[in-house]
């Protein structure tokens, strides 16, 4: 995904901000081509698996925002912190299982990185009525492959 294809901020902020090797990614919702594709509250009786695609898309958007800050020969070395906000109805109790989809997606994209610290937070609403929002802190490093050239 090129920088032009990144989810555009919906307000006065940037998608990701880098300081040294740390990359702070704003909350990302499950948008594709600028359109929010997963909306509504998570219902107490809903099948948890039905939220996997939304969480993975929001997590992928967060990773891509982090990657957009990288220079030549750099890679995302690790995700340090992950916060998953879940648009949950009152009484919902399975935040951890929904947030596990984000952790699993990071594991598959960053297989050599340990899991990040994480918070799974239930909220009454999210921007645009998104079902989930994912924020990330990552660390950049020189890609060993780029040193072999």
pLDDT tens digits along 80-98:
999 999 999 888 999 999 9
pLDDT at 11 over 70: yes
- pLDDT for res 5: 61
Contact 15, 68 (CB under 8 A): yes
Nearest by Cα to 36 from 98, 128, 133: 128
pLDDT tens digits along 17-68:
999 999 999 999 999 988 999 999 998 888 999 999 999 999 999 999 999 9
- pLDDT for res 1: 41
How far is the CA of 46 from the CAs of 38, 52, 88, 98, in angstroms?
Answer: 14, 12, 11, 11
Say which residue the tokens 């901020």 belong to.
9
Domain 16-147 has CATH 3.60.21.10: no
Nearest by Cα to 130 from 26, 1, 21, 28: 28
Categorize the per-residue pLDDT at 147 as very low, low, confident or very high, splitting at 50, 70 and 90.
Answer: low
Nearest by Cα to 98 from 114, 109, 110, 87: 87
Per the prediction, the chain carries an average pLDDT of 91
- pLDDT for res 148: 57
Instruction: State pTM to two decimals.
Output: 0.91
Mean per-residue pLDDT, 118-122: 97
- pLDDT for res 2: 44
- pLDDT for res 149: 54
User: Domain map of the chain by residue range?
Assistant: 16-147
Q: How would you class 139 by CB atoms within 10 Å of its CB: exposed for 0-12, middle for 13-18, buried for 19 or more? A: middle
């Amino acid at each position: 995904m090129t920088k032009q294809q990144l989810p555009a901020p919906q307000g006065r902020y940037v998608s990701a901000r880098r300081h040294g090797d740390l990359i702070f990614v704003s909350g990302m919702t499950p948008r594709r081509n600028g359109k929010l594709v997963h909306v509504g509250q998570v219902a107490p009786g809903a099948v948890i698996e039905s939220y996997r695609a939304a969480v993975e898309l929001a997590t992928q958007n967060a990773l891509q925002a982090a990657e957009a800050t990288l220079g030549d020969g750099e890679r995302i070395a690790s995700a340090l912190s992950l916060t998953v906000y879940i648009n949950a109805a009152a009484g919902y109790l399975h935040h951890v299982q929904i947030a596990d989809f984000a952790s699993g997606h990071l594991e598959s994209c960053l297989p050599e990185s340990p899991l990040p610290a994480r918070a799974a937070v239930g909220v009454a609403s999210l921007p645009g009525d998104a079902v989930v929002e994912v924020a990330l802190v990552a660390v950049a490093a020189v890609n060993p492959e780029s040193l072999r050239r």
